[in-house]
Amino acid sequence: MRAIWRLPICLFVGLLVAGCASVGGRPGAGPIGSPETACCGRGYPTLAPLVRAVTPAVVNISVTSTVPLEEHAFFDDPEFRRFLKRFGLPLPRTPRAGRRQSVGSGFVFDADRGYVVTNRHVVEDADKITVTLKNRSTYRARLVGSDISADIAVLQLSPVPAGLHALRFGNSDDLQVGDYVLAIGNPFGIGQTVTSGIVSALGRTGVGGDGLQDLIQTDASINPGNSGGPLINLAGQVVGIDIALLGPSGGNVGIGFATPSKLVEAAIQRVLTHR
């Protein structure tokens, strides 16, 4: 019986070692596609080398937008205001447009031009977009363009930082249910966070009524603020962009979704072609 419960652990270790042995390259310089992620250098499995290689390309996004002026037909009704004046009651103030702060995630996919990709809904109606790198340096970003069908937006940093890291896209068509993945992002605005899990399902559609198709389902923790962050395979490649979660209270319950990299790449190409 003891050997039976050890089997899943041994299988996980074996798969992790095999995955790590299959990648190579030099981390921390230029585009990251096959980083050196020898994950067993200290005698036990770890994803730390992989995380060190990919996280410099992942960014936090802060958005400032204007909250539209709300209409209050009842309070602005002339008869109602005359009624208040008659009895010496104070008139209600017409509310002013306010400012709203929101957060999300993204990653650099073109270091030379300072291009960052994120979800369209993260930067929709933004007046000001600020991008923070892992080293905590901040940059203004402009919206290059967006693709509503894939909920993708392309930003450009200004100025383009020297020594910027970038991630490479993997082939999402190669994904299988059970593949290990990492989700990296800025949940709840607390800062860069890495979670791990597996691909739980493929080809999900109609999630949240947003009409998005062919989504990747994962049990890697995805929370508000993770939107736009990358879903990474064990080769250090982007296989999806975290886009949504499914939970009764807006928090993670082990069901998250990502747009496949093949759809993201196609959307980026459309944006850059028609900008």
Angle at 270 between CA 222 and CA 181, to 5 degrees: 25
What is the rounded CA–CA span in Å between residue 270 and residue 154?
10
| φ/ψ (deg, to 5) at 145 | 170, 170
Amino acid of residue 192? Q
Q: What are 199's strand-pairing partners?
A: 218
Nearest to 29 by CA among 226, 269, 236, 260: 236
So which residues are the catalytic ones? 121, 151, 227
Exposed, middle or buried by CB within 10 Å (0-12, 13-18, 19+), for 130? Answer: middle
